[in-house]
Structure 1
Amino acid sequence: MTDRLSGRVAIVTGGSSGIGRAIAARFAREGARVIVADTTEEVREGGVPTEALLRAQGLECRFRRCDVSREEECEAVVAEAVARHGRIDVLVNNAAIASGTPLLDCTREEWERVLAVNLTGTFLMSRAAVRAMVLQDPRGEVRGRLVNLASQHGMVAAPEALAYGTSKAGIAYLTRQVAADYAGQGIVCNAVAPGKILTGKTGRAVEPRWLDYSRARTPWPRLGRPEDVAGAALFLASDDASFLTGEVLMVDGGWMAA
């Protein structure tokens, strides 16, 4: 590791499992003090909880229970990070839930829950973090960085997943808007848009028809791994990403290029 985030304070939502877990681990190994904000410590794909895993390696990581759809819980995580560390350098908005229904099968309850977590959660965490970031001293030119998790399925149709695709499209827009509004105050806001990433979770995501569909759409000769997204998130969270804001970085094996 290269200590690209040495001394930085990073909050990673949804960091207990999958892509969020990989991002939290990569950030900690690059020197960041990581706060994992999630509704549970349980690792969806199995294994030791993220905090325990990283602490056993001598890395700094703390778990804080947080439902990002709840405003007061978002505010509390950010306030605790500032109280403990004096600042927040990076927020990764990764927390999300999936859905697998087209328009006529999507209930209002499903629609509202998916948007509450995926899109409203990104809004609430971003607002809380940026409120703190604009008041802190900059590191170089930057007071704080936001890295949002969008998706290729926010750019093109998400087959039979209306609410999910809509939420990810909203995140891409939110990324551009926050970047434009707060660049003058030293806030950098970008997004990573993963393609098909195999995280180890079960269910609809690994049904043969969806794996076949994803392989057919992906020019690269394999599907993605959580570490692929973690590397992109690290770049956007680091000083290597300079004069770069409001962008959505595709990490999709060429899905959107084909």
Structure 2
Amino acid sequence: MADISFDVALGLESTHALITGASGAIGSVIVKAFLSAGAHVSAFDIAKPQEPIAHKRLQLYQVDITDEDALENAVETARGKFGLITTCVLAAGVDLSYCQHHSLVDMPLQEWRRILNVNVDGTFLTSRAWLRDIRSYATPQDRNISAIIFGSEAGTFGVPDCAAYAASKSAIQYGLVRSLARDAVNIHSRCRINAVAPGPVATKQFEKECDSNLAMLWQEAQATVALK
């Protein structure tokens, strides 16, 4: 009988991943996951990490994803450090916990624009900078060319007290992802574009909110998940 091998590795060894929102509760876990998989990681965030990681395959960049020139320069610097960015994880954004919560009729236009600027414009600018780099420097042999955009279940179900957040997540996880996917394969035939849309995540911030509002854990998580 012939020997059969089955490779369950992710194939990320020595590749280069860009993680935005890398200092956040979710982003920091993503950074650790890619490092564990053997990738080089460029970590972008406007804020410095609360628990910095020292690793020879990790480079931190303090960058605002809504600043077009700064973002383009950071991507160029990152490529110079670790080579072509094959994987781009777009986790940066204004989190629902840090939005001003208003009924739509009371929401200030300034707050609406702030949330859409970061969550939609920032995601667009990052996607564009990454894909431009793929167009200029990728070869047909490059693998794991993919982008993963972080949406939210709020983009599907809506949020009664923060319509801007729901609208921004719907925009990127539907319209942007589907359009980008059709465009990206014309840039590189092996390119993949996907979105994930998590609901409440057991972060310290969510636990803090639940402690101050006992009904939140039930309303936001247990009542909507079959296994509670």
Q: TM-score, normalised by structure 1?
A: 0.75
Partners of 1:192 and 1:138 in 2: how far apart? 27
Please state how far the C-alpha of 1:24 moved relative to its aligned partner: 0.8
Runs (5+) with no aligned partner, structure 1:
222-258
**Among residues 212, 220, 227, which one is paired with 2:227 in the alignment?**
220
Partners of 2:45 and 2:39 in 1: how far apart? 18
Amino acid at match of 2:16: V
Partners of 1:84 and 1:42 in 2: how far apart? 20
The residue aligned with 1:249 is none
Say whether residues 1:18 and 2:19 are aligned partners.
no
Q: How does 1:1-258 map to 2 (within 5 A)?
A: 2=9, 4-43=11-50, 48-49=51-52, 51-52=53-54, 55=55, 60-97=57-94, 98=96, 99=99, 100-138=101-139, 140=141, 142=143, 144-172=145-173, 173-186=175-188, 187-201=191-205, 205-206=209-210, 207-214=213-220, 215-221=222-228
Percent of aligned pairs with the same amino acid = 29
The residue aligned with 1:231 is none
Partners of 1:141 and 1:102 in 2: how far apart? 48
Amino acid at match of 1:129: W
Partners of 1:208 and 1:67 in 2: how far apart? 35
**Contact kept? 1:6, 1:31, Cα under 8 Å:** yes
**Contact kept? 1:134, 1:143, Cα under 8 Å:** no
Partners of 2:13 and 2:142 in 1: how far apart? 17
**Contact kept? 1:13, 1:95, Cα under 8 Å:** yes
CA 1:61/1:141 → structure 2, altered by over 3 Å: closer, same or farther? closer
Give CA deviations for 1:2-59 in whole Å, capped at 9, x if unaligned. 463101111111111211111111011101111110012233xxxx22x33xx2xxx5
Please state how far the C-alpha of 1:144 moved relative to its aligned partner: 2.4
**Contact kept? 1:133, 1:143, Cα under 8 Å:** no
CA 1:40/1:141 → structure 2, altered by over 3 Å: closer, same or farther? closer
Amino acid at match of 1:213: Q
RMSD: 2.1
**Contact kept? 2:134, 2:187, Cα under 8 Å:** no
Q: Does 1 or 2 have the higher relative contact order (CA < 8 Å, sep 6+)?
A: 1
Runs (5+) with no aligned partner, structure 2:
1-7
The residue aligned with 2:3 is none
**Contact kept? 1:93, 1:149, Cα under 8 Å:** yes
Partners of 1:143 and 1:202 in 2: how far apart? 33
CA 1:25/1:196 → structure 2, altered by over 3 Å: closer, same or farther? same
Bigger Rg over Cα: 2
**Contact kept? 1:143, 1:185, Cα under 8 Å:** no
Q: Which region of structure 1 is more displaced relative to structure 2, 1-10 or 146-155?
A: 1-10
Q: Give the match's secondary structure for 1:91.
A: strand
Partners of 1:167 and 1:193 in 2: how far apart? 12
Q: Give the match's secondary structure for 2:92.
A: coil
CA 1:141/1:31 → structure 2, altered by over 3 Å: closer, same or farther? closer
Partners of 2:197 and 2:108 in 1: how far apart? 26
